[in-house]
Structure 1
Amino acid sequence: MGPEKIIKKKKDYLFPCSNHFYKNPPQIVRGEMQYLFDSEGKKYLDFFAGVSVMNCGHCNPEILGAAIEQMQKLQHTTTIYLTQPMVDLAEKLSYLLPGDINHSFFCCSGSEANEGALLLARLYTGKHKFIALKNSLHGRTYLTMSATAIPMWRTDPNLDDCFTFVQNAYSKDKPLDIAAAESLNAVEEAIKNIGSENIAALIAEPIQGNGGIITPPQWYFKDLKKLLEKHNILLIIDEIQTGFARTGKMFAIENYDVVPDIITVAKALGNGVPIGAFCTNDKLAATFNKPSASTLGGNPVSSATAIAVLDYIENNNLCERASNLGEKLKNKLIKLKNKYSIIKDVRGIGLMLGVELIDQDGDPASYQTDIILEALKDKGIIIGKNGLDRNVLAFQPPLVITEDNINFLIAELDNVLSEL
């Protein structure tokens, strides 16, 4: 059909909130592991993975094979009937999830997963309020949008006031450790002001993706968990973007050696097939005992696909691969930082890395960020952007990339930066 006709149909039949990247966007028609192809046959190296979804690569034949095989046998019944793939997936997840987390409730998206986690926290504690961090993004349902602190994603003008937002572990002007310490102080102050008897949980991403790849120091979540436990407040960790090997661990929170009370997953678990889940331990799970169901959550096809995803991650050592390649990519990005003053910071873990850009006056280089994305696209490379000012280049590729792919990306990024 071509990009022009796609854009026209979007204007005619979709909502105007549905935007797209690029001044001259391609129409993507095909994917093959770490590559995408447009309607004119041009090949692109994908370094964004559909925002951390395609961890195992586009149209991965092993994963597609499992999905197609299940689809040919049984596609859907809903959760009120007994099917094996869902319970097999839950069992497999129980061995992979941190610590004593071993129960899962399946749904269709990250927003649903976070909504369910917040509900579970209220059911278990009998408390109503929550704490969330600035720069957070937790979803587009009413409650999860209320938990989101990025203005552009807070669409509803009348959101729930049950959330108190506190400073995250980041500051434009202060060292990371100082910003993280101030964040913990802000959490403690919020608990004092709201009253621990009113706060069910704090929800946080281990690395804030859309917020700018904000990566707390190693000690942050341990100290945060101790503080919350002192006041009988639960910790919900949102692994929607960070989960399933992206940071060199199956779950990013494992880099911080912390076991949350509730963990949420989606995106990469289905490798392009919609699936989400909120997961917890025996004690919390026991309180979610009133009738509840998800029509499509945990259906046989999504469950069989997710099992194939987890098998592929393990069989191909994607955790180790993400760690090794992520370190190489980060080191090369740091070399570019030392070469170009527009790069203020390089941060992240594994293959979830962000490059923050500033202009000569120290202001966010949002305009230049768009120029870089467009130029790299023209050179056959797709990356993302995020941050409150949309001035952070996001590198979140399929975990099946190669060192040659990294070298190609860095060479072309170097060229683009030199031409700015």
Structure 2
Amino acid sequence: MKPIPLPPCPYQPQPYTGPGAAEVLEVRQRHLSPALFHYYRRPLMIVEGHGQWLFDETGRRYLDALGGIVSISVGHCHPHVVAAVNAQNERLQHTTTIYLHPNVALYARDLAARFPGDLKVVYFVNSGSEANDLAVLMARAYTGNYDMIALRNGYHGGSQSTMSLTSHQTWKFNVPHSFGAQHAQLPDLYRGPYGKDDPEAGRKYAADVADLLQYATSGRVAGFIAESIQGVGGAVVFPEGYLRHAYAHVRAAGGLCIADEVQAGFGRTGTHFWGFETQGVIPDIVTLAKGIGNGVTLGAVVTTPQIAQALTQRHHFNTFGGNPVACAAGRAVLEVIARERLQENALRVGARLKAGLVGLAAKYPRVGDVRGLGLLLGIELVKDRATKEPAPEACLEVFELAREHGLLLGKAGLRSNTLRITPPLCLTADDADFIVSVLDACLARVG
């Protein structure tokens, strides 16, 4: 297969002098959990990153179109973020919120300023699973109700409590879980009963939430949680009006509305800073993680002052939530997004990339659907467009072939038949064209 040249990059990685990939794999297999999995038939070892680029131990360069599983927002090792983290590391690495520290207060102020309405109170945690777990606790404590409604095909974390909200068989262990969790119909314009040509699809899909409230709950619920765009589920974008109607049904039943922005937030959609804004709604609680810290361990829950009061009923404390180093990184990320106009870049380059992918769909019958917003995109591969039978084998083959060209992608969907493209927001037009060219060559090879 003739290689496709990568776009130029002036950055030169440092010489790597550590153990080789084979040795690292052997040590990993001996001392790390066997539950861990790795991408690719021939495991890839990454030792350095810069912007949208990753480098293996041999110095070979790869375009990171997965963005550390949507965790790298402003680019690997962005100098402004690195400088902020280093400066704080040299001064004070850890203190907790039982003491005052400027980083946690100033970052909370700056982050809250990016939210609409009365979403002005921030609680910092360490991951998306923690954020979603806390959001559900808030909803139950505030409303006095117990049941939660989530969406089929959604992903909200791997802890035992968030596993209840997640609706993917592959992520749910055969242990007691899902108490008080109901799952509504997925508003999927590609596979669902109401498609892209139905202007009332949003209202019709939301009717299942109302139905669930009547038949699967007491009629009173703690809340409703949904990713603004489903990530692990395969970049599923909801029809216009869906969240507006679903929120109305839930609020009428006494529940709060939670937007999971772990993957869709921080300008990734291009048109808006937060994914929920694309639906014209304001949630009661928002959860954040991944790109919030550009790879630094950080998460957050944002809510209203009134709802935040619910946690004062008991002591609630997170030792590392609001860590000064993590908050320095988070604040620097906000500054870079604004200074480098990365949301606008996500809109412009994302539109170019999506147009190229739509062109591939017209060329290859294997492509069943191209969807997403900004730089959160998915390409669903099928065996037959009429039956929409998933094609996980073809997806895996494209995934492996792309790596040989120097392009790193993600896989998503219950059947692993969707290629996920979620690069750092600094992706360039040349990079977008490279992604399309590589996928063109790979799809031609798969047939």
Classify the TM-score, shorter chain.
over 0.9
Match of 2:191 in 1: 172
Match of 2:153 in 1: 135
In structure 2, C-alpha distance between the alignment counterparts of 1:372 and 1:394, rounded to whole Å: 12
Match of 1:255 in 2: 278
Match of 2:374 in 1: 350
Match of 1:26 in 2: 44
Distance 1:165 1:195, change over 3 A: closer
Query: Does 1:365 pair with 2:394?
Result: no
Match of 1:412 in 2: 438
- Write the deviation string for residues 77-135 of structure 1: whole angstroms up to 9, x where unpaired: 11211111001111011110232100011110000000000000011000111111000
Match of 2:231 in 1: 209
In structure 2, C-alpha distance between the alignment counterparts of 1:401 and 1:238, rounded to whole Å: 24
In structure 1, C-alpha distance between the alignment counterparts of 2:61 and 2:275, rounded to whole Å: 31
In structure 1, C-alpha distance between the alignment counterparts of 2:69 and 2:241, rounded to whole Å: 27
Between 1:154-163 and 1:268-277, the stretch displaced more is 154-163
| 1:282 aligned to which of 288, 301, 305 | 305
In structure 1, C-alpha distance between the alignment counterparts of 2:379 and 2:108, rounded to whole Å: 36
Query: Does 1:270 pair with 2:293?
Result: yes
Query: Alignment length, in residue pairs?
Result: 420
What does 1:222-371 align with in structure 2 at a 5 Å threshold?
222-248=244-270, 249-289=272-312, 290-360=314-384, 362-371=388-397
- Write the deviation string for residues 47-97 of structure 1: whole angstroms up to 9, x where unpaired: 010111111000111110001001111110112111110011110111102
- Write the deviation string for residues 204-253 of structure 1: whole angstroms up to 9, x where unpaired: 00100001111001211112222222222211110011111111122111
Match of 1:193 in 2: 215
Between 1:289-298 and 1:126-135, the stretch displaced more is 289-298
State the 1:153 CA deviation.
Answer: 0.9
**TM-score, normalised relative to structure 2:** 0.91
| 1:401 aligned to which of 403, 427, 432 | 427
Distance 1:415 1:245, change over 3 A: same
In structure 1, C-alpha distance between the alignment counterparts of 2:174 and 2:86, rounded to whole Å: 39
Match of 2:15 in 1: none
- Write the deviation string for residues 235-282 of structure 1: whole angstroms up to 9, x where unpaired: 111001111111112211111121000000011111011001111012
| 1:219 aligned to which of 227, 241, 250 | 241
Give, as a single letter, the amino acid of the residue that structure 1 aligns with 2:177: L
- Conservation of the 8 A alpha-carbon contact between 1:264 and 1:279: yes
Question: % of aligned pairs identical?
Answer: 37
In structure 2, C-alpha distance between the alignment counterparts of 1:115 and 1:173, rounded to whole Å: 29
Q: Cα RMSD (Å) of the superposition?
A: 1.4
Give, as a single letter, the amino acid of the residue that structure 1 aligns with 2:245: D
- Conservation of the 8 A alpha-carbon contact between 1:130 and 1:162: yes
- Conservation of the 8 A alpha-carbon contact between 1:132 and 1:147: yes
Query: Does 1:60 pair with 2:68?
Result: no
- Conservation of the 8 A alpha-carbon contact between 1:228 and 1:234: yes
Query: Does 1:184 pair with 2:206?
Result: yes
3-state SS, counterpart of residue 276 of structure 2 = helix
- Conservation of the 8 A alpha-carbon contact between 2:213 and 2:219: no
Distance 1:114 1:141, change over 3 A: same
Match of 1:72 in 2: 90
- Conservation of the 8 A alpha-carbon contact between 1:322 and 1:351: yes
- Conservation of the 8 A alpha-carbon contact between 1:355 and 1:393: yes
Match of 1:384 in 2: 410
Query: Does 1:41 pair with 2:59?
Result: yes
* Alignment gaps of 5+ in structure 1: none
State the 1:182 CA deviation.
Answer: 4.3
